[in-house]
Structures are given as C-alpha cells and as structure tokens.
Structure 1
C-alpha cells in the first residue's frame, strides 16, 4: 500500500478498539502500519485519544492528519468539520495515497468514521474494518453477559430525555446505556424509579489504564466521564 499516483488511494476506516492497544485486530494493525497517511479525530485542543490508543503501533514515517472536532452536541459546526476533512483526505486519495482513518471502538457502532464514509464512499474505494466495540469490551471487563437465549438487547444513549429513557427501559430484558457522562444523575433517577438500580453495572473508560468499576451509589453525580456505560439485565445475570 505505498503511494502510487497512477491510481486513486483507498480509504480505510479502522476500528481500533475501546482503549487497550492490544485490542486492535490483526487486519486493522496491518493496514494501519502500511498506510502512508493516518487520520484521526481530535478535540479542539489537546491530544487525540484515538491516536494515543495506536501510538505503540505507529512507525514514525507516516503523514498524520488530525481532524479537530468541537466537543459539542450541536449538528454544526461538527458537520462542517467533516466536510473539510473529506476534502483534505480526498486530496490525499486523489494523489494515490491510501488513508487509514482511526475510529475508537467500531466504525459503524456510533463511530465517527461513518460521517466520512457518508461523504466519501461514492467517490473513492472505501473499506471498513470492524473493531472491538465499547459495548462488548464493557461486558467482558465487568464479567456480565449482555444477553442470552431470546433476550432483546436495547442500546440507549444517555442524552435522551428522561421520559424517553424511562419508556424504553420499562419492561426491558437487557440494556446498555451509553455516553453516560454528565447525564448520570438523570439516568440514575430513572433506574431508581424503575427499580433497576440493583441490576445495573457501571464502568468508565473500559480497558484503559484509568478504568474504574463502581457501584452506582458511589458515582459522583457530576463525575461520570463521557466514556462510561451502564449495563442492565432484568434477571440480574443473563445466564440465570
């Protein structure tokens, strides 16, 4: 996968896992180390978590492109950022250079790469490499199975309104509440009202060096990071 100006480069969306550098797949690692251009999301200021995950695997000779994405919930200016990134990466591809775009977890499970895919897949060859998602990483680290037999697993983003969360959790068999962060107090209240707190498991920054597993009552209302998740199973454990 070296530079070749006689062809259009290929865009790779690499799922790099939830945080542990060893949880990258062999395929993603091979493509990462061969691509002449590596791009990754990064905050307005500071280091990129995605780059930090793969830092032990980088060779040092590749061109790096940081896609600076404002950490806001509004549709703009984030969409404009992806528009500009698609243009910049497109120039690399048109020059015949393959581009590996890093995506924490899995690219198509709430992954940032999907926004580039939607802008570029019709113009360039694109390959998506799945990764270990935060969902499965949290379950494995907590030692609690997500679902079994005919269970229906429900995935809910914590930013949803409290009434929506409550309605979706009413009678749920198994659930994962993602992106907890500053919404922890709201989520905890809903779980208390539904008598699900005792069947809930909380974890933050799963597989990372600063990972923490806490009882819900021990989590500070304002202290949950963005990368936190609550897993729930109505039977308590999926295998029972």
Structure 2
C-alpha cells in the first residue's frame, strides 16, 4: 500500500515539474523523483527536455532514465493525418515501454513541465496505462500562473471570468471564445501570434494584453502585446489579458 511518504513499485506517477524555475518544483515532486526506480520524460531529438532540466538536482545515478523522443514536432502540420499517425504510434510505443517497467514491479515517474493534466504530453500515456496500472498525479505550478505573476495587475478579481484558449484555434472560433470573457490566457502561441493579435485588436483587447515567453526560465521575457517585436513566438509563450474587475 502506498502512503504519503513512500513510493510504490508498479505504480506510475505523473509529476508536474512547474514552469521552468527549479525552485518552483514542489517538495512532494522532488521527493518522488529522487525515490523512483525509473525517471521518464519527453524531449525533442538531440535535446534533454525542459522537464528533465528542471528536475536535474533530484535525479541520481542509481536510477534508470527513459527519454521519450518525439518523432516529429513542427516538421508536419499538427492537423495532418501523417502527424497524427506518427504521434499516436509514438505514444503507443512510449506507453508500452513504461508498461514493461511497471509490470516488472518498478516505480516510474513521468516528468511533465507545468502540470501533468494541463496540456501535458503525460496525459497521452496516462490514458493508455490508467486501466492497467495504479497511478498518482502530482500537480505542478502551471505556466499561466508564473506568467501572470510577471504582470503589474492581478489576472482576475471579484467576478472576472477567465478563459484559457489554445492559439491554434481558427480565427472565428478564437473570436467567439474571447468575445464574452473578462480575462484570458492564450496558449500555444508560436506561429499563430499575428493571427491572435488581429483577433484581439478586433475585440478591443489588444491594448491591455501582455506577451510572455519562457516565464520563470533564464530567458524570461514579458512586455505589453503592442510592444512585442518577435518574428515567431517560441513554443513556451503565451498572451495574457488581465480582467477588468474593480482594482483599488
């Protein structure tokens, strides 16, 4: 039986490592990472991955590391069938690899930037494994909160309605989602920056919006959206629109 102070063999843990600053990882996450038999994490080809970097101080030589290398990232449109086929096969293979460790009685932690259940890759292997092995989710500080912390005004107050929207939505859907909210966080900005700015301008929200990239990381950058001068926003970027609730 697992307890609050132990890690259990044959159980997998979705670990939220937080948004980037290693000091924002939770005490519980750090303890479980250090105690696990296997440490797994997603990464791009040729890179270790942000989640692995964040957790570095808690990983030691006696553990087995399992990098799960994405077969494709931006090389194919994410809406294409070719992309879907390759990424689904990748998650199938990753889940099978983790299942091998779990069936052998090993404890497995899967690292995930931010929070495991908030736009995390972990969810894809979780859904493939949850009915076969016991699991525990360790929440992490999501990037929307580390980004909001950079602003000179609260994200929401009083009765403000907050909407979290992926910037990959088509223009009309993005417009509809944002048209009835007080505050918004637009994630997955990337190459969609110009489209998002155009939608916010039509809604009259651009002047109170902020552009944030790599919040809590060494290359952290934050400015008012109209002042942002970026040809292509990185993956770890978002647009934050604070609410309009009463501020005193």
TM over 0.5: yes
Can you give the 5+ residue segments of structure 1 that lack an aligned partner in the other structure? 2-6
Partner residue of 2:112?
103
Give the Å deviation of 1:167.
Answer: 1.5
Q: TM-score, normalised by structure 1?
A: 0.92
Give the Å deviation of 1:143.
Answer: 4.0
Give the Å deviation of 1:109.
Answer: 0.8
Give the Å deviation of 1:108.
Answer: 0.6
**Aligned-partner SS, 1:87:** helix
Give the Å deviation of 1:217.
Answer: 2.9
Match of 2:95 among 86, 91, 113: 86
Check conservation: 2:183, 2:241, Cα contact below 8 A: yes
Match of 1:192 among 171, 194, 201: 201
Q: Does 1:41 align with 2:42?
A: yes
Give the Cα separation in 2 of the matches to 1:205 and 1:34: 29
**Count, aligned residues:** 234
- Which deviates further from its counterpart, 27-36 or 188-197? 188-197
Give the Å deviation of 1:208.
Answer: 0.2
Give the Å deviation of 1:168.
Answer: 1.4
Give the Cα separation in 2 of the matches to 1:15 and 1:152: 26
Match of 1:137 among 140, 146, 163: 146
Partner residue of 1:167?
176
Note the alpha carbon deviations across 1:92-126, whole angstroms, 9 max, x for none: 11111100000000011111111111000110011
Give the Å deviation of 1:238.
Answer: 6.3
Give the Å deviation of 1:46.
Answer: 2.3
Partner residue of 1:239?
247
Can you give the 5+ residue segments of structure 2 that lack an aligned partner in the other structure? 3-7
Check conservation: 2:208, 2:224, Cα contact below 8 A: no
Give the Cα separation in 1 of the matches to 2:228 and 2:58: 34
Note the alpha carbon deviations across 1:154-198, whole angstroms, 9 max, x for none: 111001111111111113211110111111000111111111111
Give the Å deviation of 1:231.
Answer: 1.0
Note the alpha carbon deviations across 1:65-97, whole angstroms, 9 max, x for none: 011112142323111111001111111111111
Note the alpha carbon deviations across 1:8-54, whole angstroms, 9 max, x for none: 51100000000000111111111000001000001133221211111
Q: Does 1:153 align with 2:162?
A: yes
Give the Cα separation in 1 of the matches to 2:210 and 2:169: 19
**Runs of 4+ in structure 1 over 4 Å off:** none
**Aligned-partner SS, 1:128:** strand
Partner residue of 2:5?
none
